[in-house]
A and B are shown apart, each in its own frame.
Chain A
Amino acid sequence: MNHLEPIFFYAFSLIAVLGSAIVVANKRPVYGVLALTVTMLALSALFVLLKAYFVAVIQVLIYAGAILVLFLFVIMLLGMAAVETSQRQRETKKEALFLETIRILKILLPIAFFTELIILTLAAKDAGIGTRNLVGTVEAIGQALFTDYLLPFELVSGILLIGIFGIVTLTQKEEELSLRGGPNGPTK
């Protein structure tokens, strides 16, 4: 099994990288979401390689299944407008110079960040193969979850609850506005 591992690793990480590149580079968000699903699956394969089976399953079920589906719904809701119209509004000459530098910066920064990470990881001395006998089975995770990490577990449920409240109030605000004409007249 272990002689096949490098091949699987390179394959899946390549797929993941390409998928995310497509997400970032394409024009239409729908393709973005699909590319992201592909990346998610590749990542869960990597998790399997790392013997984190439970996390891999959750990744596929929740992340790919629920969140990305949510994305699709929203894109459908927004319709054509979602296509990026990238005409540039006129800027004053002085501002242009400033924004130009910011744009260049936006490209340079991730690259700079990436190179630093590479230097750091290469510099790390004891980067040998781990003992690799850790297996992320359901009962191991379940046991850890409900003993050592009980408090964070409860807190996460709290955060999810807050998320729900947030969405309800946001959407609530939106309907109420349309009923009584809203601050700046009926919404279009």
Chain B
Amino acid sequence: MTLNHYLITSGILFAIGAFGVLGRRNVIIILLSIEIMLNAANLSFVAFASHLNDLGGQVISLFVIAIAASEVAIGLAIAVILFREQGTLDPEKMNLMKG
């Protein structure tokens, strides 16, 4: 299959992830959508790797997975603490930084 196909799918996934991050009112779902966006990125990395015949793309996707792991860990820890403080997971409530 051509590179374009893979890029289109990763574009769709990324868009859906973005929609999830912006639209949903639950921190967990936001973190999940971030994971989707990261996977979309991985897909395009690997697609380019095979297209450009350079292993770099695959190595980068490995790194992305590693970093995503630590990011999710911290994200969830924060979500837990927020839940303890605010009693809810709705980001709208968390407006202590209101200007």
Q: Which residues of A contact B (CB under 8 A)?
A: 5-6, 9, 13, 16-17, 20-21, 23-24, 29, 32-33, 36, 39-40, 43, 46-47, 49-52, 54-55, 58-59, 62-63, 66-67, 70-71, 74-75, 77-78, 81-82, 84-86, 89, 106-107, 109-111, 113-114, 117-118, 121-122, 124, 127-134, 136, 140-141, 144-145, 148-149, 152-153, 156, 159-160, 162-164, 166-167, 170-171, 173-174, 187-188
Contact = CB atoms under 8 A, between A and B. Distances in A.
A144 B59 contact: yes
A56 to B, nearest CB: 9
Interface of B: 1-9, 11-20, 22-26, 28-29, 31-33, 35-36, 39, 42-43, 46-47, 49-56, 58-59, 61-63, 65-74, 76-81, 83-84, 87-90, 92
Interface of chain A, main secondary structure: helix
Contacts of A141: 55, 58-59, 62
Nearest to B72: A67
A50 B39 contact: no
A130 B53 CA distance: 7
Contacts of B15: 110-111, 113-114, 117
Given A130-B50, A171-B77, A23 B18 contact: no
A66 to B, nearest CB: 7
A121 B4 contact: yes
A5 B25 CA distance: 39
B65 A63 contact: yes
Contacts of A85: 88, 90
B72 to A, nearest CB: 5
Contact of B13 (A20, A32, A173): A20
- Specify which of A50, A113, A152 lies most central, judged by the most chain B CB atoms within 10 Å of its CB: A50
